[in-house]
Amino acid sequence: MLDTIDVGKSTAKRGDPAESCSTKYPAESDDREIGMQIDEALEFLKAHQPMGPTQTIPQSEIDAYDAALELFIETPDDRCVALFLNSFGEGDLDGVYVQVEDVITEFDPALVLPHLKQALGSPRDSVRYWCAQIAAEFPSADIALELIDIAKSNDFDLRSAAVSALAQIEDETVSAFLEQMSQTEPDPELRALLAEILAHRESKKMD
């Protein structure tokens, strides 16, 4: 198992989780009924790439997104992976976005990583921010360059999320970048995190 360092996750854009507005699906639902529900949720996500800004989006759309999350947590369907990864709009959707990770981590990394790589390269900061958070659960050199690019952002939240994900990736290119970043990072909090990550890596070399 990969030896990881617990660097936490940036919470700068997350609010308190909203009350669950999830829809309950009867255990005895037949395959046809569940299939219709899944198709409806997929169509909703396809129509919201991404969701609108949290400050202006109707509550009904937040409720529908939350219901889709609950459905795919209970009934995983790999068609939802790319749709969720590219669904993040501005804000935190009243605390709902943080739950997307619960859906994505249900799937094998081999399935998730190509979609995550694409989403990390999105032109939308909101997509890149939340996907960088999720990337910490899928440490792979395959997404290192995308995360390094995010870590070069002028936005602190983006840099912090990317560094937290990069900390989980054992790769020489990543280590070299984190060393370089530790010399130039303007934020003292993030510099301290980088120093902790680098010290952890150095101690592993000596084991």
Radius of gyration of the chain (CA): 18
**153 φ, ψ to 5°?**
-65, 155
Tell which wins on pLDDT, 130 or 22: 130
Task: Give the residue-averaged pLDDT of 59-66.
Answer: 94
Residue 193 has pLDDT above 90, yes or no: yes
Residue 90 has pLDDT above 60, yes or no: yes
CA distance 168 to 134: 12
Weakest-pLDDT range from 27-41, 59-73, 154-168, 177-191: 27-41
The per-residue pLDDT for 1 is: 36
CA distance 37 to 43: 10
The per-residue pLDDT for 202 is: 84
- CA 126, 128, 129, 133 torsion-angle sign: positive
Q: Give Cα 54 to chain centroid, integer Å.
A: 17
CA distance 103 to 87: 13
Q: Provide the residue ranges of all domains of the chain, joining segments of one domain with +.
A: 30-107
The per-residue pLDDT for 14 is: 33
CA distance 33 to 38: 9
pLDDT band at 115 (very low <50, low <70, confident <90, very high): very high
CA distance 53 to 1: 39
What does each C-alpha distance from 31 to 38, 72, 78, 103 come to in angstroms? 10, 15, 17, 20
Instruction: Name the percent of the chain lying above pLDDT 70.
Output: 82
CA distance 122 to 53: 17
